[in-house]
Structure 1
Amino acid sequence: MQPEEIDPDAHWLSLVMHLTFFVLQATALIRFIQRHPATVNSALVITLAALLAVIYAAGVGRDAYATTKPSARRSQAWRVGWLAAVVVVWAVLVELAPSFAWVAVPLIYAALRILPPVAACVLVGVLTVFVIIAQLALSPRFDLDLVVGPAAVAGFATAVFLHMKRLASRQRRLIDDLIRTRRELAATERRAGTLAERQRLSMEIHDTLAQGLSSQQMLLQAAERTWDRDPAKAHGHVRSATKIVEHNLAEARRFVHDLAPADLALSGGLPQALRALAGRESDERLRVLVHTEGQVGPELPERVQSTLLRIAQGALANVREHARATTAVLTLTTLDDRAVLDVADDGRGFDPGALPDAPEGSRGHGLPAIRARVRQLGGTLAVESAPGEGTVLTATVPLGARTPE
């Protein structure tokens, strides 16, 4: 009989057992015909043998060539009924001709395949008893081996089969657990990737578009305040706001096309991009200066350049919004194995120890966002400040190191 889920090894074993059934039955029938003349009893035995072969072949054919797969309950009920019919015909046949007793071997296999363990063991015991009785009937005298031998072989075969069946079931469960775990892991990785991308976009928007909109708002408010008494100065604020709008538009287009930061793409390098940023951020309230130390060429990794530029943008946004500084200095230093960006201001400063720690994976802005950017590249962030003494923010990023996952 074929299982519901076809396993190659089990399928091969089933074919061997089916072949064994027909070989044993044919051998027993030939032996019976050779030793018994043509009688009414002989005709009955041949008829029963043919009926047994037909019933067994019908069960095998049904599983092998069925075009529609029934439900599990219907299939199991049909198999139990099929096995009962085969066993009954075989039992009657063995009663008439003990030579057919050894056909019980493939029937034991079928019982173990189809029935639950307890029911299968009971049926195996019944089949073994029939085999023992048939062997004793064929023997001229009582032989203990004819009792112990079939019982021992049947018991051993049953124990081995049930053990292998449990192992196969355990292996199947382990495989199902592995498949389920892999699916859950893939789903978790997708969720983690989605959250990481959301965090990245949040920081990108905060450090570019949000900062630009904040600068535009302050410039337009300043223009509104000076419009009547100093039109020239008001127009200057409006022109500065217009430049920021143009830059924000370039950044928005970059988001769509997923390109490098607009300043890097336009200027061709990080130092030039920092100078362009300083030019936009400088006004009558805040002067931004840029210094570079070491050789900063196009060979600097693009992701490092992009990250340091975003850190500079975020740091200057904090300076403008919170520090009340008049001067900020961006210092870019490149060494053999790392790049260092210092952002110093002469503002009112603060106590770094009083800042609450951002939770892991936070999408917060300002320092939490800068810290997250540095951590993504395996770098470090240091903040030195005190009330009334300004602030120095130092971001150190390794060069050539593998980015943490």
Structure 2
Amino acid sequence: MGVGAALWRSVAVYRFLALLYAGVLIAWNQDKYERPYASWIVLTGMVVWTLYAALAYGGGRRQRWPLLAADLAVAVAAVLATAWVETPFGIAQGRPTIPVAWVVAALLAWAVSGGRALGLIAAAAIGAADLVVHLLNRSTPGPVTFGNIVLLFLTGLVVGHVVRMAVDAEVRLARAVEMEASTRERERLARDIHDSVLQVLAMVQRRGAEAGGEAAELGRLAGEQEAALRSLITGAPVPRPRPRIDAAPPGVPNAPAGAAAGEADLRTRLTALASPRVSVATPATPVLLPERVADELTAAVEAALSNVRRHAGEHARAWVLLEDDGTDEVIVSVRDDGPGIPPGRLERAEADGRLGVAQSIRGRVRDLGGTVAIHSVPGEGTELELTVRRPRRV
């Protein structure tokens, strides 16, 4: 908007200065006109339109076609009025039209609004009006007339090109400023995280390795999260180790028939999450998805089950249902018998920076192009329905 506002202000200033120049020439050439009084009528119309255009165009707003068309029509009419005001001899000699350079303001408005294409269209319309004046006078246009028309086309072409370059440069500058602000914010967060979270994770990893036993496993997990967090704040690829399933559950083959390279059976991923308090139901046939999609859906289900343990208690039960009816959609439902989610709880959690549902579940599924529906009634448990579209095989 900064460049646009400056350009429209420049057009308005040019319009007033060109009006002053036209008024001086009209007063100077009064004794040469065939109808001197008519020149003052034309000048009055130019003054009125200049004042109106200064208000109508404003600064930096997107201009509508009616205003641009009216501006060009007034400019063309002012040029054609030369045949009414000037003498046939003056027209034949190639004397300036009544509005002289004032009509270029309309050309500039078109060029600023639409670039080179509109600038050339406006130049063609004004140039054609100049030729019509000679045709009405039955005189042959001279070199001066053709030179003015060439200047009109050059003005429309150059101004339109410069305007497009200025607008593109402003857009690129805005993107650069945004990227710089994002980089500075990342650096600030990196400093804060390094001074707090990363040091705690490093300490847990070190103390866990020293303690051994279950603490060693906890330390190993802390080390993985520390590496992932460091990669995230530095912009490097985030290592996301996914537990590999070496042996599929009974009845589920390790390599489903028909699986292409890079595909995984979502049943295998989800069935591995079963436990005494988590029941998993899947179709009898493989549910093949790209490995990344299967990993992300599994991670979203893990996050949902983690929320069940955290908010509904260790003794709460959960049911995972995988539905695949052969259509383009795959649906995974996670239901629990916990206390449910109070109204407004998710919104408050997101506002407080707790993004388990917002990012770990909704964010993952949204990045896959899917949707998440949450159904919860206080005292009656919660059900999450994760829906993703199955990518078409090429």
**Does TM-score exceed 0.5, indicating one fold?**
no
**Which structure dedicates a bigger proportion of its chain to helix?**
1
Larger Rg: 1
